Amino acid sequence: MRKPLWRPLSYHQRLRLLLLPYLSGILLLLVLPALLAFGLAFFRYDGLSSPTWLGTLNFIFVTTDELFLLSVQNSLALVILPVPLRVFGAFLLAVLLRRNGRFLGWFRAAVYLPSIVPTAAYALAWLWILNPIYGPVNLLLQAVGLAQPGWFADSQWAKPGLVLLSLWQIGEGFLVCLAALQDIPPAVEEAALVDGANRPQRFFYLTLPLMAPILLLLAFRDAVVTLQESFTTIFLTTGGGPYYATFTLPMLIYEQGFGLLLFGAASAALWVLYALTGLIVLALYGIARQWQIGTTEETFVL
């Protein structure tokens, strides 16, 4: 009897084939450009003349720039505060809206809706919402007799304005938390209820520990996205101001590359941004290890 010319693929082999297009996209659109930017960081290049070798001078130039430390501080400030608020906000909303109800579907859609709005349109909408003169937020504060902040026009209120803006885009994290909560077996909560645990005890000693790996994963994702993809929002709302109050590393990269045509220095700043992102992820991982939160594949299966 002749042997078949091909063997049926195993389950894991089929999974790898399904991931192949995504891996190809990551290599072509992320890894390859990052490697090219790393090579370009050792040259002086303005896009018009031939590259000139500078060695590590671009890294020295970028890290000694008077705006570098300020941009790092602003970048960290816009990660440390919004990320925990976004993650726990999405989690608490998922807890509140996990049950089935007549109008809960509409509330879930309302929470997710801001996440599908394009970033440019979302930023321009909030530029109007937080307008210090005719914005609805300040008009409401004026109506109740409270002080009206300058928001994006005030260096002290520009960062809180960006934090407030970011808190409305928690739809993706909300859906992940909602799916994970609905995946918790009802028998687990029923057993805790039989043992006499009240609602706060079930939340802090049952639901929260089971959701900890999911919240950690969302914190990783939000930290990376907030640090690297906040350029559009800041560029359209504050432009890095006022008085460099919201001048972040992505703004520094844009200024070096497209403002001064120093693409080598911009590439060096980009790799500084990558390194800062890696340090933030390592810090989150260290916190997770201290809190004994599992990060293996098995621990994400509730």
**Full pLDDT tens readout for the chain, 302 residues:** 555 556 677 888 888 888 888 889 989 998 899 999 999 999 999 888 888 998 889 999 888 888 899 999 999 898 888 899 999 999 999 988 887 777 788 888 888 988 888 889 999 999 999 999 889 999 999 999 888 999 999 999 999 999 999 888 888 899 999 988 888 888 888 888 888 888 888 888 888 888 888 888 898 888 888 887 788 899 999 998 888 999 999 999 999 999 889 999 999 999 999 898 888 888 888 877 776 655 454 544 44
The number of beta carbons lying within 10 Å of the beta carbon of residue 167 is 14
Which tokens in the block code for residue 108?
Answer: 């879930």
Domain layout of the chain by residue ranges = 57-300
- The pTM (predicted TM-score) of the whole model is 0.83
Q: Which two tokens stand for residue 216?
A: 């950690």
**Bond prior to 160 in cis (omega within 30° of 0):** no
CA atoms of 29 and 118, how far apart (whole Å): 21
Residue 51, Cα to own-chain centre: how many angstroms?
34
Q: Cα separations (Å) of 175 from 17, 29, 75, 164, 180?
A: 27, 27, 27, 20, 9
Give the whole-angstrom CA distance, residue 238 versus residue 246. Answer: 7
CA distance 89 to 9: 43
Please give the CATH number for the structural domain made up of 57-300: 1.10.3720.10
> Which residues have a Cβ under 8 Å from the Cβ of 214 and sit 6 or more positions away?
176, 177, 180, 300
